[in-house]
Structure formats: C-alpha cells, structure tokens
A and B are shown apart, each in its own frame.
Chain A
Amino acid sequence: MARLSKDDVLRLAHLARIELSNDEIEEFLIELNEVLAYFQQLQSLDTKGIIETNQVNGLTNVMRDDQLIDYGYAPRVLLKNLPLKMDDQIQVKRMVE
C-alpha cells in the first residue's frame, strides 16, 4: 500500500500555497494517509473488462447557444465580497518583482 511521506505532504502544501508548521505536517501526514487508505478500498474491486470512463451520468453534448445571458444581477455585485479592491479591480499581493 502506497503511503504518503513527509515530503509528499510538503509538496502538496506547496502546490496549495499553504504554509504548515511542524506539528501540522505530522497531523496532515496522519490524516491524509487515513483518507488515502479509505479510498484504497477501491483497489480490491475487480475492474477486468470494464471500460474506463470519466463520468457516470451518461450525458453528452450539454451545450448552449452563443447568446448573451442576463443572469439577473449586476456584475459589480460580485465584487462586494472582495477583501481588497481598487478601481473595480481585484487587489492581490504583487505577482512580479
């Protein structure tokens, strides 16, 4: 059974842009391995002859016409919850030097 190492947890934290303390690393190492073990029950299923799929609802071609849609609210409503904004733009930590 594959188990996550401390390095795996650190890499996941980096990808999620989350800083972890040493205690948290230990904590998540245990928790994530428990989650993984839970899903690993699936490995016991016999999948021989079953075609790979990426969805189970059987839908295809759910499409809309290329028409403007009025969603019933002003776009600026969406900006209300922003923690920081400036001139109707979303203000974030500087991305470039």
Chain B
Amino acid sequence: MAKKKALNKWPKKVKTMSSKYLPTIGIECHVQLRTKTKLFSGADNDARTAKPNTLINHIDFGLPGALPVFNREALHLAVRAALALGVEPQLFSTFDRKHYFYPDLPMGYQITQYDQPVIIGGQVEYTLNGELKRVSITRAHLEADAGKSSHPGTKDYSLVDLNRAGTPLLEIVSEPDMHSAAEARAFAEELYLLMCYAEVTDGDLYHGNMRFDVNVSLSDNDKLGVRSETKNLNSFRAVEKAVDYEIKRQSELLERNQLVVQETRGWNEAKQKTIPQRSKENADDYRYMPDPDLPPIEIDPKYIKQVESEMPKLPAFWRNELSALGLSSSQSNILLEAGVNFAEAKYMDLVLDFSSRGLNTKALVNWLVNVDIPLVKTDSSLIRTDRNKLYLDVLNLVEAGKLSSTNTKELIAAALKSSEVLSNISAYASQAGLLQQSDSSQLEETIKEILFTNAEAVKDVKAGQDKAIGFLIGQVMAKTSGQANPEVARQLIEKLIKQA
C-alpha cells in the first residue's frame, strides 16, 4: 500500500497565519481517460449526449458470466499519465474487486487496483504567487466508473443510467502536501493542465471528466488531525471553496474544544457549504480480492520508452518557451488554459508553427493573450476562425510598418468576428483607415510643409529640445489623420532638420 510519509515541516508561512491550526490537505482526483470504448467492454465511452442505457452490454450491465477484457488504450494513457507525473509506471500491476452495494453499481463490486496499482510515486509542480511548490503523488490506479443516478423532484424513487458504468478512470492520489485552499486549487489546476496536455483526458469538466475529493485536517502540533473528505468537486473554484469552508468549520469546532468527526461530506454549491453524507464502508469492509477474470498487467520497459518518445508537449515545456519569449507566468497560464478550454482554436499549434518558422512568436503570443483569448471568452463561436491565415496576414502588415499596435488589435478583432474581413485582411485594413503611412517619399512632402510652417519648433529642435520633436510628430499625425508611422515620421523629421 501507500508508503507513509513523515508529516511535512511546518511551512514558514504559518507564523503569519491568524489561526493557530495548520491545515493539511490531500487530494484524490478521478481523471476520465479519453478512450473510444469502455475499460472492460467494447461499448462507446462517450456518454455525453447518448440516450439513457444505450451504451451498455452484458459486461457493463453486470450480468453473471460476462467476461471483462482490458482496454489496451487505457494502459497506454496510464503510462502517459505516469510519465507526465515524472515517474515510470509499475512494470507489474493487478486488478481487484472492491465490494459494496449501491444502485449505480450493477456488479456489486467495482473493478479497481488495490495493492498493485499501475502508478506509484510521482509529483506535480506548480507556481503560486511566484513560489515553486511541489506535491508528491502517492499512487494512481485504473478503475471502472459507476453509473449515473438522478433523483426526480419529489418522487420516491431514483433512476439509474448505466451509460457511464465501465468508463475508464485513473484515480490519482496526492500526499497531504498542501496547506491552504489556494494551494489546493493551484494543484488541481496544474494537474488538470498536465493531464490535458499529456492527452490523457479530454478534460471536459462540465461532464465530470475530472472530479476532485479533498481531504482536510487541522492540527496545532506535528501530528495530523482528524480529517474530513469532501467528495465529487467538479470545478477548481469548488475545490478552493470547499477547502476554505472545511478549514473554517474545523477550526471553529477545535476552538470550542469539540472533536472533528472523520466523515465523508459533499459540497452544496447553492449554500456554499459542505454537508455530511451518509457514510460508506471502511476499507476493510470493501472485501478487496484479486479479480480472477483479469490477469495481471506486465509492462515491457521498451514500451515505456516508446510511449515516452511519443509524449505530447507538457505545460513545463510551454512555460519555458513562453517565458523565453518574455511572457509572465500569469500570461503563460492564460494561454495554456485557453489551449485546453478552446482546443478547437489550436493556439498551441499556432505558437509552435510560428516559432518553428522563425516568425515573430513574441508578437503572436501577445496578440493571443491580449486580444484573441479575451474575445473568445466572451464569444466562444470565434473559436472556429482560421487563425493561421489571420495572424500571418496581420504579421505581414505589422512587419511592413503599416499597423500601429492599437490598430493591430482592432484589425485582429474584426478578422476574428467576420469571415469577410478575414478573407481580405489588408483591403479591409486600408478601407477602415487602419493602415499607417510608412512610405517615406509621400510623408516627406507633408513633413517639409510642416517644418516650413513651424519654424519656431524647428529652431527648438536644433537647440536640442527633444519635446519639440514630439510636437512636430504630433503635427504630422494630425495632418495624416493618424495614418503616419510615428517612428518613420521621427526619423524623417530628424533627417530633414539636419539637412536644412
């Protein structure tokens, strides 16, 4: 089983905390694997829009005598997950039956991995307020999901849909290495990015592709206190709020010299509080036993090497790249999150394409973070625009000195919103008066005129007063209705005054 780890040293931060209790937090996360079919049957794994009980067969339905057969792709994704967590998968692992009775569990047991899981160890690193943090991973195991139950209004029954039954999950268990709600949230977000970028999961939080259970305990000494477990949180905000609530609830109990009860709780989103749930069995009540239908899994080290060589690029790679381009860590996060949340926009492919072609990637990521992503967040239909053409065209105009930075943003926004604009970007830019004049011969005439009528300012420039140049540039901009390139104008003014 999981190795017991010595309780972390109290972090320095604790001295500045108002409470005398140190919170300790561990997280379990169920990650839904992006396989086509279920873990042990060939039924379709995409239950999002399917009618109830249409993605089922004798295996997922738990009929006696049905033989589960392990999905090869689930192992592939588990190996990827291990590598993303910075650890090699276990070369030998087994499946076990975990028995309990619940209406959404047709077999009367869940197929999971008990004492020989596919992943032991690993870690997740994340940055919080500029500080690098590390959370160790205890273990991660493969298991089949249960069905989905619903409880119509005031009726005296519940309804069970088994489309989800048998969906492959990887349950990742962290060490109790976190000490605040903010840390818990940051860890959950990083784990999410990691699993999405490793292409282990589709990361659809709305459909429960990642569900978090948080274990929270408080202590005023170096022993861990009694913990509560709040289950089935499906958003990062809920993780943070639930931990916050538990810290507050437990410290109030302890302040009044009352005991914290070890129990399972649920998060009530409407009331913004955790509430106790009916208790399930303890571990020794689950009557774990090896599943005789499922032979052990042996992984060839060569297979691990092969999966490693095909690993998608992980957040750490992108963070390095983006920080080398001068992006702050919060800007990098905006881009990384958009890379998953708006996968169809293919932001990361675009960035990779620009950088591999030696194009101005720094400009691109700034446009994405400051213009594109904020717009997509307000109107997700903009996801589908062909960004390759858009940003190549915009980049050409910018590099020819024809677009100011304000007008660049305006042009990008217009092209994202309209396919007509997109199909002829430079014509639109010209019609809309977004282009600036960088053609020096045209500008030169205008500037000569301005220098002639502003002799006083010219004198000041000659006397070394920089402000006067600014004044003259302003005159040029006014005369050209803002279409001159101010930098080109400055160079021309300086040149012409010198010549005079």
Give A contacts to B, CB under 8 Å: 11, 15-17, 54-55, 57, 59-71, 75-76, 78-79, 84, 86-96
Question: Inside 8 A of B55's CB, which chain A residues have their CB?
Answer: 75
B149 touches A95 (CB 8 A): yes
Q: Is B281 an interface residue, CB under 8 A from the partner? A: yes
> Quick one: which of B134-165 are within 8 Å of A by CB?
149-151, 155-162
> Quick one: which of B273-294 are within 8 Å of A by CB?
281, 285, 287, 290, 292, 294
Question: Inside 8 A of B63's CB, which chain A residues have their CB?
Answer: 78
B155 touches A94 (CB 8 A): yes
List the one stretch of B69-77, B179-187, B243-251, B257-265 in contact with chain A: B69-77
Q: How far is the CA of A30 from the CA of B94 in the complex (A)?
A: 35
- List 9 A–B pairs whose Cβ atoms lie within 8 Å, in order of A's numbering: A15-B287, A55-B292, A60-B297, A67-B36, A68-B44, A71-B58, A76-B54, A78-B57, A89-B159
| Distance from B232 Cβ to chain A, minimum over Cβ atoms (Å) | 13
Q: Is B53 an interface residue, CB under 8 A from the partner? A: yes
Give B contacts to A, CB under 8 Å: 35-37, 41-44, 51-58, 61, 63, 69-75, 94, 99-103, 149-151, 155-162, 281, 285, 287, 290, 292, 294-298
A90 touches B53 (CB 8 A): yes
Residue in chain A with minimal CB distance to B54: A75
Q: Which residue of A59, A70, A91 contacts B295 across the interface (Cβ within 8 Å)?
A: A59
Question: Inside 8 A of A70's CB, which chain B residues have their CB?
Answer: 42
B295 touches A61 (CB 8 A): yes
Question: Inside 8 A of B297's CB, which chain A residues have their CB?
Answer: 60-61
Question: Inside 8 A of B160's CB, which chain A residues have their CB?
Answer: 89-92
Question: Inside 8 A of B35's CB, which chain A residues have their CB?
Answer: 66
Question: Inside 8 A of A91's CB, which chain B residues have their CB?
Answer: 157-160
Question: Inside 8 A of A66's CB, which chain B residues have their CB?
Answer: 35-37, 71-74
A94 touches B151 (CB 8 A): yes
Contact A78 to B61, CB < 8 A, known contacts A57-B295, A68-B44, A90-B53: yes
Residue in chain B with minimal CB distance to A66: B73
| Distance from B94 Cβ to chain A, minimum over Cβ atoms (Å) | 6
Q: How far is the CA of A92 from the CA of B150 in the complex (A)?
A: 10
Q: Which residue of B42, B157, B161, B162 contacts A69 across the interface (Cβ within 8 Å)?
A: B42
Contact A69 to B103, CB < 8 A, known contacts A59-B295, A94-B151: no
Q: How far is the CA of A9 from the CA of B159 in the complex (A)?
A: 31
| Distance from B270 Cβ to chain A, minimum over Cβ atoms (Å) | 15
Q: How far is the CA of A39 from the CA of B94 in the complex (A)?
A: 25
Q: How far is the CA of A11 from the CA of B281 in the complex (A)?
A: 11
Q: How far is the CA of A76 from the CA of B297 in the complex (A)?
A: 33
| Distance from B259 Cβ to chain A, minimum over Cβ atoms (Å) | 24
Given A11-B285, A62-B294, A69-B37, 12 additional A-B pairs, CB 8 A:
A15-B99, A54-B94, A57-B295, A59-B295, A63-B69, A64-B72, A68-B36, A68-B37, A79-B53, A88-B54, A89-B53, A90-B161
Question: Inside 8 A of A75's CB, which chain B residues have their CB?
Answer: 53-57
B52 touches A60 (CB 8 A): no
Residue in chain B with minimal CB distance to A70: B42
Q: Which residue of B42, B44, B72, B103 contacts A63 across the interface (Cβ within 8 Å)?
A: B72
A94 touches B296 (CB 8 A): no
Question: Inside 8 A of B149's CB, which chain A residues have their CB?
Answer: 92, 95
Contact A64 to B159, CB < 8 A, known contacts A75-B54, A75-B55: no
| Distance from B147 Cβ to chain A, minimum over Cβ atoms (Å) | 8
Q: How far is the CA of A56 from the CA of B479 in the complex (A)?
A: 91
Chain B CB within 10 Å — which of A57, A84, A96 has the most? A96
Question: Inside 8 A of B41's CB, which chain A residues have their CB?
Answer: 69
